[in-house]
Structure 1
Amino acid sequence: MADLPAVQRTERTDGIVRRQRGRTALTSLVAAALMTAAATACGGPFQDLGPLPPRFSGPPLTADAVVSEMTSVLAAEGITVARQPSEVLGRCTERLMGRHAPGTVDSALRAAVERARSEHGWQAGPDLGNGALTLTKGNWTALTALPAPDPGQGVESLVIVSLTCVDGGSPAATTPSAPAPTSS
């Protein structure tokens, strides 16, 4: 290009630049057309499927009923637990804590879970991996972790069952309401 006059070099450079811009513009148009075609082919109009199903079926269960049921299921397998205070604002949670012999705690917890499923209508909850057992019933989820195999010489294994309310129950709903005052 060095042996061409300056005017021809400028015209030649302008031509190259214009062709590159033209290719870029054409490529952009093709890409936009392909994206539009893909969007219209894959993304048909939205279809209204109605309201979402409820997160649980049946009437909401009270905390007292769930705690009583889980306590009796665990007691049937020899695990004695006590209800811990649950003063978490805005959440419906309960916790049962107790101790059990380390050699049999694993089998006792598994048997309690099976008893809750077979005799009380609890369903298997989400699989959280090894060492966690979950159950669901109505608006409640129960979660317990299998304790460590050997907590130490002469120490009983700690058993914790966490109960969480999904919907429809507040801590205030677990206490009976006071009768309305009567006028005399």
Structure 2
Amino acid sequence: MADWPAVQRTERTDTIVRRRRGRGALASLAVAAVMTATAAACGAPLQDLGPLPPRFSGPPLPADAVVSELTSVLAAEGITVARQPSEALGRCTERLTGRHAPATVDAAVRAAVGRARSEHGWQAGPDLGNGTLTLTKGNWTALTAVPSPEPAQGIESSVIVSLTCVDGGSPTASTTPAPGPTSS
């Protein structure tokens, strides 16, 4: 016959092993349930919604047309700007710079942005805050900061409009600068 304390140790060991396996199985079931619930909950956001829409609609707008349009909008508000040649080869960027009387520069820039939206179909771009105004049209984004109405005495306020092409195929068609800036 077997030694009674040895049998008790074996039975005790078997009981401990069975309990550990039972707890492990229970933990495995709990983890499996959590993973199943997570997969079910996250399944909807991961579904395929098809291809992304284009970044802009319609044909790409040429740089000359965009620059001409914004130059005329700014001129209608008394801000004469000059087109600076694009220095980045292969990139669609343009820059319009000019000067305006400091007392009315804020109102003139805001009116020009409003005119571009109402008369030429530009849309409000993302809100960047801090007095920055953005417009989008086709494959172009125009960005300008509302200048401070109080520059140093006797100096006109600078007006800068930066234009960036989202996906243009060809960079600027012409980089000939317009006549120099004049004040109004």
User: What's the TM-score bracket when you normalise by the shorter of the two chains?
Assistant: 0.7 to 0.9
2:81 aligns with 81
1:112 aligned to 2:112?
Answer: yes
Q: Given residue 170 of structure 1, which amino acid in structure 2 is its aligned partner?
A: S
Is the CA contact (8 Å cut-off) linking 1:96 and 1:160 kept in structure 2?
yes
1:127 partner letter:
D
| Partner Cα separation in structure 2 for residue 6 and residue 151 of structure 1 | 97
Q: Which amino acid aligns with 2:167?
A: D
Count of residues in correspondence between the two structures? 170
Kindly indicate whether the alpha-carbon contact (under 8 Å) linking 2:101 and 2:157 is maintained by their aligned counterparts in 1: yes
Stretch moving more, 75-84 or 35-44: 35-44
SS of structure 1 residue aligned to 2:67: helix
Q: Secondary structure at the match of 1:162?
A: strand
Q: Which residue number in structure 2 is paired with residue 181 of structure 1?
A: none
Shift in Å at residue 25 of structure 1? 3.9
Q: CA deviation at 1:136?
A: 0.8
Aligned residue for 1:139? 139
**1: CA distance between counterparts of 2:85 and 2:79?**
19
- Distance between the aligned counterparts of 1:97 and 1:18, measured in 2? 81
Moved more, 66-75 or 83-92: 83-92
Given that 2:106 and 2:148 are in contact with CA atoms closer than 8 Å, whether structure 1 keeps it comes out as: no
Deviation at 1:97, TM superposition (A): 0.8
Maintained 8 Å contact 1:81/1:96: yes
Code of the residue aligned with 1:151 in structure 2: it is: P
Task: Report the TM-score when normalising by structure 1.
Answer: 0.78
Gaps of 5+ in 2: 175-184
**Greater relative contact order structure (CA < 8 Å, 6+ sep):** 2
Residue pair 1:62, 1:169 contacting (<8 A) in 2 also: no
Which range moves more in the overlay, 9-18 or 79-88? 9-18
Shift of 1:104: 0.8
Q: How does 1:160-175 map to 2 (within 5 A)?
A: 160-171=160-171, 174-175=173-174
Q: Which residue type is aligned with residue 143 of structure 1?
A: L
Residues 1-184 of structure 1: pairs in structure 2 closer than 5 A: 15-16=15-16, 19-20=19-20, 22-40=22-40, 42-43=42-43, 48-171=48-171, 174-175=173-174
- SS for the counterpart of 1:103 is coil
| Mapped contact 2:134–2:142 kept (Cα < 8 A) | yes
The CA distance in 2 between the partners of 1:11 and 1:158, in whole Å, is: 91
How many Å apart are 1:76 and its aligned residue? 0.9
Superposition deviation, residue 21 in structure 1: 5.4
Question: Over aligned residue pairs, what C-alpha RMSD do you find?
Answer: 2.7
Distance 1:114 1:45, change over 3 A: closer
TM-score with structure 2 setting the length: 0.78
The offset of 1:142, in angstroms, is: 0.5
Structure 2 Cα separation of the partners of residues 8 and 61 of structure 1: 89
Letter in 1 for 2:142: A
Q: Which amino acid aligns with 2:34?
A: L
Tell whether the 8 Å contact from 2:55 to 2:139 is kept in structure 1 after alignment. yes
